[in-house]
Structure 1
Amino acid sequence: MLKVCDVEVIPLCDAVGPMGPALRRPVEETFPGAAPELWERMRAEEPAAFGPSGEWILRFHCFLLRPPGGGLTLVDTGIGPAGSPAAAWAPVPGRLPAALAGAGVAPGDVGTVVLTHLHSDHASGAVVAGAPLFPNARHLVQERELAGLRREGGPVLDAVVRPLLDAGLVDAADGEARLAPDVRAVPTPGHTAGHQSVVLGDDRLLVAGDVVLHPVQLADPAVTYLYDDDPARAAATRADLLARLRARGGTIAAPHLPRPFVDV
């Protein structure tokens, strides 16, 4: 747990494992552009990010925010149950419900869910057995993200977003949204067009979603990711956010890094 601006930030580990065969590539192909010597350094400095054959080992973290005065916000909902849209490539089932229970939180206690983006490993845990898991929560997503998914279609739209829309639980934002004093959701495009992150204080903590996926991108923000929608924009967003955090001695909370909090 980390406390920033009197807000408790609690990491919830949903799963750990490599990508499944449908998406798995050598890590050097998954993050193109990194020099060979940088990979040598990463393997020495961040061994938990690599498996025995050199494959990328991901953590799947969600983050619970508990501001003073009450009102719980959950950032992302993980990979979901065994039959979720993430099952084709992620180590389902996710453990988010158990992790929440371990933090003393029932799904009905959550008042806001921020979906950083609508990829299956970040949104699938929002719906279980066809019903919203967090029935009392407003689910905040950027309008651009929602519009893009509607155009593309697919299992996340059908199995996750439509049940949330049918229940009237979706709030579509057009830009920055304030969640609580010192807590706001901000657009951070590149990985997807409507990607958003959560900022605490004056760039004291960034709950980053997929702005940063691997430690190699902290070492060199220009290193891109094979599955970014717009790699150049993602790299520019990443470089800007990391520069702002570093100028203030801030911390990044990124779902897929070996450690949930990294001082940058």
Structure 2
Amino acid sequence: MATPSRTHLVLIPSYNTGAKVYETVREARAQWCPVWVVVDGSNDGTAEGLQRMAQDDAGLRVWVLPRNQGKGSAVLHGLKAAQAAGFTHALTMDADGQHPAALIPSFMQASMRRPEAMILGKPVFDASAPLLRVRGRRISNGWTDLETLGAGVGDSLYGFRVYPVAALVAVMARQPWMRRFDFDTEAVVRLAWRGVKPVNIDAPVKYLKPEEGGVSHFRYGRDNVLLTWMHTRLVLEFVLRLPVLLLRRGLRRPPFQP
């Protein structure tokens, strides 16, 4: 098992992912310590199973929320607890086996080299990736590029990332959104507005079939409406923020030298 870190932890929100969450947690624990799991109102019995795992593993902590509140809310619960415990950075990863636990150490090391930045996974798709999902994220990425003035966000939706805890908690405390599926995209946009630079690292993503234990709570209609509403809000706010963003960018540029 990995040596415990006092600054960086792995944070896994989980909702009705079935037995796959146990495999995900074991793989994460083999790479890092500590690992925290926030069970977001699951009713599939995994909350009890995870709590039993934690009883025998000092590097694993489990929170169980009384009802499903959404991915962003579950992450925020973990971030607040992490901040209270003195952690400065959190790597978020999904509980459903899509994200590469083997890359946790390299992402954490990148964060330690650049603690002021957000370390963003840039997905490398294989043949299992649904074409509709791949094409749909290109649209979201295009809007994100506009909203951040081309800040360099490699992918707006891939949730395998290391965030500066204090900055993200501050961002989420100031508005009521980004509590559900809209969390990943809105987090990088608002952090970029705050001046947190992205560092992109390629990472594979797997779309598991049901017979492989894959579970997806993404609903094309419902969640695309949510993303459309999110980008509408962000574009409107971006227009209002544009003078300040342009001023900040201008101030960061080095003076012209002939």
Q: TM-score range by the shorter chain?
A: under 0.3
Q: Which has the higher contact order (CA 8 A, sep 6+)?
A: 2
TM-score by length of 1: 0.27
Structure with the higher fraction of residues in helix conformation: 2
**Larger Cα-atom Rg:** 2
Structure with the higher fraction of residues in strand conformation: 1
